[in-house]
Amino acid sequence: MSNTVTTWYLEQTSPGGLRPTARPDGEVRIVRAEVPSPEFSRFLYTAVGADVGWTDRLPLSAERWRDIVSRPGTETWVAYEKGTPAGYLELAGEDDGTVEIVYFGLLPSFRGRRIGGHLLSYGVARAWDLAGRWPGRLPTKRVWLHTCSKDGPHAMDNYLSRGFTLYDTKTEEEGAA
């Protein structure tokens, strides 16, 4: 059975384009996971993406996962509410000054509480200042991401509200083989 999936590609080309949101109420902290851990990364990926169909990294070995999260310029930022992981954002800096938000999302029980807007705002700011944490890296000139019709219903609105602009759209049949 096939399923039509639309993927939208969004970008910011200036740090001044970021429109941050207010901090949510309560005890929410955002911390960089500085020790690359394939186990923690897999936990975050599956906890956030299971109900929206994230599957691309599931077949990866722990070694391959470690290679990805250990790559210079790759960062994982985790939102915690009262010490409990609520969601995460993974950045991948490229040598040309481009930073991709590879993954972003919240665990289901933390959605709809303004944590996502705060995490995205914070993560985009960290994408713009990524070069300061990675000596020798070019300053960020572009931050981009993609989202699709399988993602949560508020994903696109959150990206647009944070100042991202749409630059491409693709529609394809998934599972048509």
How far apart CA 35 and CA 15 sit, in angstroms, is 27
DSSP state of 157: H
- pLDDT at 177 exceeding the cut of 60: no
CATH ID of 3-174, from 3.40.630.30, 3.50.40.10, 1.10.150.120, 3.40.50.720? 3.40.630.30
Amino acid at 54: W
Q: What is the pLDDT of residues 78-110, one digit of tens each?
A: 999 999 999 999 999 999 999 999 999 999 999
Q: How many helices (H) and strands (E) does the chain have?
A: 4, 7
The answer to whether 140 touches 128, Cβ cutoff 8 Å, is yes
The answer to whether 9 touches 171, Cβ cutoff 8 Å, is no
Our measurement of the distance from residue 141's CA atom to the centroid of its chain's CA atoms, rounded to an integer in Å, reads: 18
Give domain limits for the chain: 3-174
Q: Closest Cα partner for 86 from 55, 49, 111, 53? A: 111
Q: What pTM was estimated for this model as a whole?
A: 0.93
Sheet hosting strand 165-174, strand order edge to edge: 28-32, 74-81, 84-93, 98-106, 142-148, 3-12, 165-174
- Contacts of residue 69, defined as CB under 8 A and 6 or more positions apart, other chains included, come to 36, 37, 38, 41, 76, 90
DSSP state of 22: P
How far apart CA 40 and CA 31 sit, in angstroms, is 13
Whole-number pLDDT of residue 150: 82
Q: HSE (CB half, 13 Å, CA atoms) of 97? A: 9
Q: Closest Cα partner for 122 from 70, 80, 151? A: 80
- pLDDT at 71 exceeding the cut of 90: yes
Q: What is the pLDDT of residues 129-173, one digit of tens each?
A: 999 999 999 999 999 999 988 887 788 999 999 999 999 999 998
- pLDDT at 69 exceeding the cut of 70: yes
